[in-house]
Structure 1
């Protein structure tokens, strides 16, 4: 059984191997065929590649050429576009903006400006002609808008009368908000940016110059009557009289108020129309004409003040105060114009500084030119006039403080004070502090000393006798003291009081020297080698004993002394009554005479009145009678 089974299995495996060999033979034959096919395919591919390659290369070059053609067409279109746009916008921009409509006109300018910017960025040489034409077209549009800007500014505007607004305390008129909005829109599109305008023209944009011209004429025309009023009120109705100027007599206050009101109003007009960085420049340009007219007016007033320096120097002080305050107030509202306004003050400020020395010179000259003085010792009008000046000055302490500070202590004594480097006021320069008050006190003290020292010298030359000289000096000192006490000079000149008192003492001393002759007759001659005088009885002096102790010659001498005293005393009393004295001088000198003479006479009378035994032959006055006479001197 086993044998047949193995034979059958072997036969089956042999059959499978034969099948495998048969398949392998087929695979080898197929592989050969495939290899042959691959060889033929490779040869065919090379042939195809060689045939198709040139065609593919030509196709790529054709695509590149097509792309270049498209770009050329697009460039041509871009070149044609500005020309087409120019033709469209030119019709608008060469028309009247009011006819086209301002918004449409401005939109056309914006489109043209945008197109111009695009062309400049393209850097195409072919665009240069278009750029030039569009620039010209924008220039036309800007000029058209500038005309509208100018017409809008001028529409319905006429010069105003500043006095109306000042006296009623109402604001000066402003441009309406609708119009300023309109002007700002035009300004923004009519001109280049401020930075570009500054590079091309440092004076500002065209619209700024138009604004300055139109509004500047309006301001200048409105203020011209105020300038004329200043000159008219400065003229003296009677040139032969040197009437002292009083605050407010001139229209300079109104003129300055008009300038302040109009400049501040104009600044409020400028701000909504122009950019922030342009405000100051446009305001300065706009107000330039009015400031020139103001400076001319101040120069005319300065000439008038110089011609009438002693009476109208106070006008110079008022102008300095008013204009300086105006400059600071304008600056506080606008941040501008302080320097420009203050610069107009330079001539008058220098005149005001020189006026202080001129007033001192005037006092000296007027005293030295006197050919006679009052014979009765009366005060001269110059003293009251000079003190009135000082009193008037106290009303101008603010500007005087600034002037005196710039001169420095004693600087007013120089004939020609040096010009200050600047006339720009500051808050500190208008602060009347301790320094300003002290400098004024020093100046007033120098003025008083100049007057009194020159009066004393002139009195010694023209008036005979110490008596009249003393009365004359005392009278003038009394008027000075009285006018100090009755005015603002009192507290200011308190430090100078000792100097004034010294002059009063000197005047009294001059006068009292004339009474020395009278007193000489009341003095005894004591002989130390003689025995003692007879004692007095009780507390009273025993005149009889004194007289008895005299020798016959001494008695005759004493009688002569009484007669000489009587004559001299009566003469001095009579002369005293001929003098014209101020009330306080009369009282003071009478008191001084009484204090000097009465004690001497009382002592002399107590000792020697018995020389004529009560007959009154030699002793004319008893103590009571002499007291009455001396008391009546006051």
Structure 2
């Protein structure tokens, strides 16, 4: 058993020896490898120290090379416009008349782009090139502006006669579409070039200025005949004739101006940019508006010289021109202020006219040295009412004027006036306020008229009867002229005042009829028998009553009949001698009949037998008296 074990141990020992020998070899090899690694690391550091600067310099060279490439590209871009200048200069100097307009404008576009690039480079060496290119662009732009102006002049050589278009209600002529297209292209390029070459911030471009100048002259010249006609039609043939609506040419002038201005606005919109429409339109119309302003000032002078008769022309002008300004402002967004400003002198004259008309009414009556001795109304009453009737034709502008004055601002010494001149749609809305203001003014006018007439009648007319007829006649004319005109719906509330004046005149007239009425009154004794009740006496009763009278009472009754006859006949004769309006005569006759007929009928029934039908004292029976009273009407 021992021998086999030794054999196993021997074999294992041999294996251990082999493993030990291998371990020694591995240790030796590991040492060699470690030595090699140490040598390699030392060599790597040496190489890195040597190669590092070379790599850094290579990167710097790459960046420098890239920068050089970029500089070369920039130089090429800078040189490109300069190289292009000679080619564009030939086209530009040839001019748009020798070169197709599209090619010419394209050349200008390229020149403009080149100038932008040169300015953006900001190189001092390019300043001479910038200057030369700018001069070339100015030349080209100037030539293009000349084409723009020539096209405009060609269309403006032949002015139009607005009256023909207004009368036939035809649209006003426009610039042809092909020319509009050309003008638009030119304006666009001139505006762009102008922005490049302009040294200052100038809002008006050369094309804007040219358009306003040339087309402005065209508008002014086209409207010149209407301006002259407007002034001529204001001249008076009859000095005291009241202005009639539509007599003056201002309406046609305004229509012509509206048509031309709106047509011009249609021309402007396709040519210029949206934010330029308003300024160009205003500038273009400025010359024509200057002539319009001059015309209105001449009309204002005419109105001031003939204020009492031609103030209505002022009202008409305010209405027409204000509507013109509102229409143009609505359709174009422009011109409202300059047109409204032209109205300032006439608005001030019109505001002053309201007080002047009141003062004229007062003065015309106060300066009368005599009144009609037949009680007829004075012509002033009709004149004043004609004025008020005429005013109803101008309610919208009058509403505007009265609104600026304030209610009652037309009275002397009023401080309610306002200098505002810009109209609004609301100020031309003749609603309740506008009608009420006019009604107040008309009421003040009639009050002034009647109160001054009454004062003058007290001074110049003898007798209340004549005074009453005079007042009644004037009231009748006023009432009639209100009812038969557009004053009726406006002055309905004034009827109560007229009734008061009418009653006053009637009462004054009837005072004279108290005398014959008094003669028909007698004394009745209720304690005496045989006296019939009033109104119940017949022929037999009258005889009985007369028979029962004493001789003294009979004489008294005879005297009453006699006095009544004389007084009645004298008043009838006087009544017929008065000049009365038809309604006044009828109304006063009714009043007299209402008073006299019942009294006489009762008196006649009782005492007509006083002269036994001889007619010596009783000249009228009841039917004859009725006929006499009826003849008063």
Please, what TM-score do these two structures have when normalized by structure 2?
0.87
1:240-255 maps to which residues of 2 (within 5 A)? 241-255=239-253
Per the alignment, residue 4 of structure 2 pairs with: none
Counterpart of 1:617 in 2: which secondary structure? coil
Q: 1:545 to 1:102 in 2, by over 3 A?
A: same
Match of 2:589 in 1: 590
For the 8 Å contact 1:270–1:283, the answer to whether it is kept is yes
| Offset of residue 251 of structure 1 | 0.4
Query: Cα gap change, 1:35/1:148 in structure 2, threshold over 3 Å: closer, same or farther?
Result: same
Written as runs of structure 1 = structure 2, the 5 A alignment for 1:341-490 is 341-414=339-412, 419-490=417-488
RMSD across aligned C-alpha pairs, in angstroms?
3.8
- Does the Cα contact within 8 Å between 2:91 and 2:99 map onto a contact in 1? yes
Q: Report the counterpart of residue 213 of structure 1 in structure 2.
A: 213
Residues in 2 aligned to 1:155 and 1:320: alpha-carbon distance in whole angstroms: 37
Q: Deviations over 1:515-540 (max 9, x none)?
A: 11221212224578xx4263229942
Aligned counterparts of 1:196 and 1:460: Cα–Cα separation in 2: 87
- Out of 242-251 and 541-550, give the one that drifted further: 541-550
What's the CA shift string for 1:393-437, capped at 9, x where partnerless?
Answer: 222222222223333332222357755353332222222222222
The SS at the match of 1:246 is coil
Report the alpha carbon displacement of residue 212 of structure 1 after superposing the two structures with TM: 0.9
Describe the shift of the 1:521–1:384 C-alpha distance in structure 2 as closer, same or farther (beyond 3 A): same
Question: What pairs with 1:295-334 in structure 2 (closer than 5 Å)?
Answer: 295-334=293-332
* CA positional deviation for 1:566: 1.5
Q: In the TM superposition, what is the alpha-carbon distance from 1:57 to its structure 2 partner?
A: 8.2
What is residue 607 of structure 1 aligned with on the other side? Answer: 606
Q: Provide Cα deviations, 1:583-603, integer angstroms capped at 9, x if missing partner.
A: 222111111111111111222
Separation (CA, whole Å) in 2 of partners of 1:471 and 1:194: 84
| Cα gap change, 1:35 to 1:383, in 2 (>3 Å) | closer
Pair 1:133 & 2:129 matched:
no
Local SS of the residue matching 1:620: coil
The more displaced of 38-47 and 516-525 is 38-47
Q: Which moved more, 1:247-256 or 1:461-470?
A: 461-470
Q: Does the C-alpha gap of structure 1 residues 377 and 79 become closer, same or farther in structure 2, counting only changes over 3 Å?
A: same
1:76-122 deviation per Cα after TM superposition (whole angstroms, max 9, x unaligned) = 54554443333333333333122232222222222222223223333
Q: 1:415 to 1:246 in 2, by over 3 A?
A: farther
In 1, Cα distance between equivalents of 2:199 and 2:60: 52
Cα deviations by residue, 1:326-371 (Å, 9 ceiling, x for unpaired): 2222222222222222222222122222222222211111111111
Contact 1:401 1:430 (C-alpha < 8 Å) held by counterparts? yes
Q: Are 1:471 and 1:581, in contact at CA under 8 Å, matched by a contact in 2?
A: yes
* Alpha-carbon distance in 2 for matches of 1:461, 1:58: 128
> CA separation of 1:427/1:617 partners in 2, compared to 1, >3 Å: closer, same or farther?
same
Instruction: Report the Cα distance in structure 2 between the residues aligned to 1:44 and 1:536, rounded to whole angstroms.
Output: 175
Q: 1:532: which partner in 2?
A: 528
Structure 1: distance between partners of 2:190 and 2:339 = 32
Q: C-alpha deviations, 1:436-464, integer Å up to 9, x for none?
A: 22322222222222222211211221111
Q: Is the 8 A contact 1:310 1:359 kept in 2?
A: yes
CA contact (8 A) 1:197 1:204 kept: no
Separation in structure 1 between the aligned mates of residue 352 and residue 42 of structure 2, nearest angstrom:
122
Q: Give the equivalent residue in structure 1 for 2:6.
A: none
User: 5+ residue gaps in structure 2?
Assistant: 1-9
Question: In structure 2, do the counterparts of structure 1 residues 441 and 608 end up closer, same or farther at CA, with 3 Å as the change threshold?
Answer: same
Q: 1:226 to 1:198 in 2, by over 3 A?
A: farther
For 1:56 and 1:348, the matched residues in 2 are separated by: 94
1:270, distance to aligned residue in structure 2 (A): 0.7
Q: Residue in 1 aligned with 2:173?
A: 173
Deviation string for 1:229-282 (max 9, x for gaps)?
A: 1100000124xx311111110000100001110111011111111111111111
Name the residue aligned to 1:152. Answer: 151
Q: For residues 234 and 301 of structure 1, what CA distance do their matches in structure 2 show?
A: 7
Aligned 8 A contact 1:354 1:416 in 2: no
**1:45 shift after superposition:** 9.4
CA shift for structure 1 position 52: 8.8
CA distance in 2, matches of 1:505, 1:195: 83
The verdict on how the C-alpha distance between 1:415 and 1:260 changes in structure 2, with shifts beyond 3 A counting, is: farther
Preserved contact between residue 411 and residue 417 of structure 1 (Cα < 8 Å): yes
Structure 2 counterpart of 1:7 = none
- With 355-364 and 518-527 compared, the bigger mean Cα shift is at 518-527
- Matched with 2:618 is 619
Higher alpha-carbon deviation: 260-269 or 574-583: 574-583
Q: Is the 8 A contact 2:155 2:175 kept in 1?
A: no
Change (3 A) 1:92 1:544: same
Question: How far, CA to CA, are the matches of 1:525 and 1:477 in structure 2?
Answer: 40
Equivalenced residue count is 621
Asked whether the equivalents of residues 191 and 205 of structure 1 are also in contact (C-alpha less than 8 Å), the reply is: yes
- Distance (whole Å) between structure 2 residues aligned to residue 218 and residue 59 of structure 1: 76
Residue 192 (str. 1) matches residue 192 (str. 2): yes
Task: Give the match for residue 5 of structure 2.
Answer: none
Shift of 1:389: 1.7
1-structure distance, mates of 2:603, 2:574: 24
Matches within 5 A, 1:207-286: 207-238=207-238, 241-286=239-284
User: Given that residues 375 and 470 in structure 2 are in contact (C-alpha distance below 8 angstroms), is that contact kept between their aligned partners in structure 1?
Assistant: yes
